[in-house]
Amino acid sequence: MTMPRSRSFVQVDVFSTLPYRGNPVAVVLDGTDLSDEDMQRLARWTNLSETTFVLPPTVPEADYRLRIFTPEAELPFAGHPTLGSARAWLDDGGTPQHADRIVQECAAGLVTVRRGEDTLSFAAPPRVRDGALDDAYLDQVVAAFGITRERVLAHQWVDNGPGWAVVRLATAEEVLALEPDLSLIPTAMVGAIGAHPEGGEHHFELRTFAPGAGVAEDPACGSMNAGVGQWLTASGAAPSSYRVSQGARLGRAASIEITADMDGTVWVSGAATVCIRGIITL
């Protein structure tokens, strides 16, 4: 058994320029010598949507390796933990191999993170499942959301690892009004997106429900925004660059920017600010 020792620990607020209005991620900056059980125990204790552990890379292309845990299980990839952990690693003195980008190794593969003046951006990983939802699952989702199928403009699997699916409603107002009964979809990883009126700062409102990961509602979800961004930009349902607001029902003010390059790569961007620095004994 490894003896406990002190390790650097931070919490990073992701996807908001307003203090403590985004989505927090806990980051242990030295995850070496920790077992899977150690990591899961801490993630359950922090009770945040994700807790991450930074480790040495196992491939030469990567700057570091990241393991990502919800209170219930390990994820192969997650968006806001990717940006938050990159910010934590940089602030801790990490030096990437390339000045303009960071390469993160995780269970889903290599993820590129670009450095901007005030934001970080990750390249959306490939989806492992896409296409329309089957009728039975869609019926479950709309029943849990307390709406009828007629209000669903479109629906899609947007799964890049966690298991995401999404339904598109007509308006942001409809999305914000949802009062889902998650007991009807206890293993689901599902979201709802709707358009804001034209002329505002944000194009869409997104809500993300993850009872399957032990998180009732995620205040700002990078991985779902990544998969939804790939779907909407490729289908022409959204412009190649747009902004999403998220978290209002939870008292948050997240802002996520989606940009699709000419080659089809979708980038998910947002602010990431270290709010808590300290030492944790593990």
Residues serving a catalytic function are: 50
Q: Which residues contact 9 (CB under 8 A, 6 or more apart)?
A: 26, 27, 28, 29, 277, 278, 279, 280
Q: Mark 189-209 as b/e (b = at least 16 C-beta within 10 Å).
A: bbbbbbbbeeeeebbbbbbbb
Concatenated DSSP letters for 108-165? TEEEEEEE-SS-EEEEPPPPSB-SPPPHHHHHHHHHHHT--GGG--EEEE-BSSS--E
Q: How far is CA 187 from the centre of its chain?
A: 18
What's the burial of 19, exposed, middle or buried (CB within 10 Å: 0-12/13-18/19+)?
Answer: exposed
Residue 172: C-alpha distances to residues 13, 44, 125, 145 (Å): 24, 32, 26, 15
Q: In whole angstroms, give the CA distance from residue 82 to residue 14.
A: 10
Q: In whole angstroms, give the CA distance from residue 21 to residue 60.
A: 36
